[in-house]
Amino acid sequence: MYSFLNNEFLPADKTFVHVSDLAVQRGYGIFDFFKAVNGKVPFLDDYFDRFYRSAEFMQLPVTLSREELKKVVFELVQKNGATNAGIKMVLTGGYSPDGYEIATPNLIITQHALTMPSAKMLEQGVKIITHEFRREMPLVKSINYTTGVWLQRKVKESNAYDVLYHLNGEVSEFPRCNLFVVKADGTLVTPHTHVLEGITRKNILSMQQVTAGKVKLEDVLLAREVFLTSTTKRAVPIVQVNDMRIGTGKPGPVVQQVLEELVRREGLK
C-alpha cells in the first residue's frame, strides 16, 4: 500500500512527518475525506471545493492545482489496486521553525478501508448521546477533533453509536456527521448553522422538501424520525437519544427513502 507525501508516493508504513510539523505542535491543519466506489469518486468536485476552501481559510496554500491533485488521487488508488476505498487528504501547518507560525504545508494523502454501517444498524437503528458543545470553526474541515475523540470513551460506555452536540437548547452536528430530523409536524430539517457542510448533507438538501433551519434539542426528542449522515455512513437511523426512545423506536420511511436516493446518486444502482 502507498501513501502520498508532498510530491512523492511512499510505502504507507514509511510515510512520516517531522515532529516540528504544526499538526503535531499545535494541532493545526485541514483535511477532507471521500470514497472511491468502483474506481470512481462520487461528487469529487464537491470534496475538492471544500478542501481548497478550508485550506484558504486556514491560510494554508495548496501547491498542487485541482487537476494535479485529482491526478495524484487517481494514481494512488490505481497504484494500490483498490477500487473501493476511503481517501483522506490532510494539509498541515508545515515544519514551523518557532512551533507557532504557519510554514510550508505538508500534503499527506492516505488510503483507508471503507467501513459502511452494518445491515443490523440500518434495520434496527442506533442510539446516540448528547453533549453540550459547539466546535470553534465548524465551517472549516480542520483536523481539530479534541472534544470528539475525547468523548469516544463516554460514547462507548453509554453503548451509543455517536454523540450529538448542542448549545443553548439548539443542536448542531455530530463530531463527524450531520443531523437530519423529521419533526413532529412531518417536515424534514437539518441544522443550518454551526455545522460542517457535509457533502452528503448537501446532496440531501437538494432533494425535495428538505430545509436547513434552526433545530432545537426538543425537536429531536419529539421527532418522528432522526438520522445522521456522512460520506461513509450515508444515512443511519437513530431510534434512541440518551434514555429516550425516538418516534416508534424503529427506523422510519424517510431515512429509507433518503438512503435509496443517496445510493442512486452515487451511481451504484
Q: According to the binding rule CB under 8 A, does residue 22 interact with a second copy?
A: yes
Secondary structure (3-state) at 129: strand
C-beta of 157: minimal distance to a second copy in Å?
A: 12
Distances in whole angstroms, Cα of residue 225 to Cα of each of 172, 196, 220, 256: 16, 21, 8, 11
Structure-block grid coordinates of residue 127: 442510539
Under 8 Å between Cβ of 69 and 48? yes
How many residues line the site for a second copy (CB under 8 A)? 47
- Residue 232 in contact with a second copy, rule: CB under 8 A: no
**Site stretch for a second copy (CB under 8 A), options 71-79, 97-105, 190-198, 235-243:** 97-105
Of the candidate residues 40, 99, 158, 212, the single one contacting a second copy (CB under 8 A):
99
Interaction between residue 125 and a second copy (CB under 8 A): no
N-to-C CA span, the chain: 29
Among 41, 55, 89, 90, the residue binding a second copy under the rule CB under 8 A is 90
- Contact between 56 and a second copy per CB under 8 A: no
Q: Which residues of 255-269 are buried (b: 16+ CB within 10 A; e: fewer)?
A: beebbebbeebbeee
Cβ neighbours around 103 below 10 Å, total: 18
Q: Within 10 A of 44 (CB to CB), how many other CB atoms are there? A: 17
58 binds a second copy per the rule CB under 8 A: yes
Instruction: Tell me the three cell numbers of residue 49.
Output: 471545493
For a second copy, the binding residue among 2, 21, 200, 234 (CB under 8 A) is 21
Q: Which of 6, 15, 80, 187 binds a second copy (CB under 8 A)?
A: 15
Q: Is 88 in the site for a second copy (CB under 8 A)?
A: yes
Bridge partners (DSSP) of residue 5 are 8, 108
For a second copy, the closer of residues 144 and 190 by Cβ is 144
Could you say whether residue 102 binds a second copy (CB under 8 A)?
Answer: yes
Phi, psi of 131 (to 5 degrees): -150, 135
Q: How far is CA 121 from CA 66, 105, 118, 156, 263, in A?
A: 36, 39, 5, 16, 17
Does the protein bind a second copy through residue 132 (CB under 8 A)? no
Q: Quick one: which of 65, 83, 104, 146 contacts a second copy (CB under 8 A)?
A: 146
Least separation, in Å, of the C-beta of 9 and a second copy? 13
Tell me which of 59, 65, 78, 248 binds a second copy, using CB under 8 A: 59
Measure Cα distances from 267 to 36, 37, 261 in Å. Answer: 12, 9, 10
Nearer to a second copy among residue 137 and residue 207 (C-beta) = 137
Stretch that binds a second copy, among 89-97, 121-129, 200-208, 213-221 (CB under 8 A): 89-97
| Residues in contact with a second copy by the rule CB under 8 A | 3, 5, 13, 15-29, 31, 58-59, 88, 90, 92-93, 99-102, 108, 110, 112, 133, 136-137, 142-150, 152-153, 176
